[in-house]
């Protein structure tokens, strides 16, 4: 695989694109392969524009992450403080 195909494949995996929109995921990979396989600048530009649109749609359809936001960070910090307080209380 080429560099564009590898990058698109990795992003599709991150977005769970094969689960949420398998057709769009396969279209994105086909466009990425066409970019990797051609030397024609015009063909690359057209495929790149279409790939960008397909990836935008895949990102919109991606499931919302369940952790990693500020609220989760605060909850983790609070749990650490509580664990430390329990350790101090236990001796």
**Residues 35-51: pLDDT tens digits?**
999 999 999 999 999 99
Is residue 10 in some structural domain?
yes
Is residue 31 in some structural domain?
yes
Residue 90 has pLDDT above 80, yes or no: yes
Is residue 19 in some structural domain?
yes
Is residue 74 in some structural domain?
no
Is residue 60 in some structural domain?
yes
Query: Which carries the bigger pLDDT value, residue 33 or residue 17?
Result: 33
What's the structural domain count of the chain?
1
Residue 66 has pLDDT above 70, yes or no: no
Average pLDDT in the 56-80 region?
82
Residue 70 has pLDDT above 90, yes or no: no
The backbone torsions φ and ψ at residue 62, rounded to the nearest 5 degrees and listed phi first, read: -65, 140
Residue 54 has pLDDT above 80, yes or no: yes
- Provide the domain limits for residue 27: 3-66
Is residue 51 in some structural domain?
yes
Is residue 88 in some structural domain?
no
Is residue 27 in some structural domain?
yes
The counts of H helices and E strands in the chain are: 5, 0
């Amino acid at each position: 695989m080429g560099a564009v195909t590898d990058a698109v494949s990795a992003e599709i995996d991150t977005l769970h694109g094969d689960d949420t929109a398998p057709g769009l995921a396969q279209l994105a990979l086909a466009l990425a392969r066409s970019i990797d396989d051609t030397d024609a600048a015009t063909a690359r530009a057209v495929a790149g524009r279409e790939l960008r649109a397909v990836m935008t749609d895949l990102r919109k359809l991606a499931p919302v992450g369940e952790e990693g936001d500020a609220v989760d960070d605060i909850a983790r910090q609070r749990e650490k403080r509580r664990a430390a307080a329990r350790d101090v209380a236990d001796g």
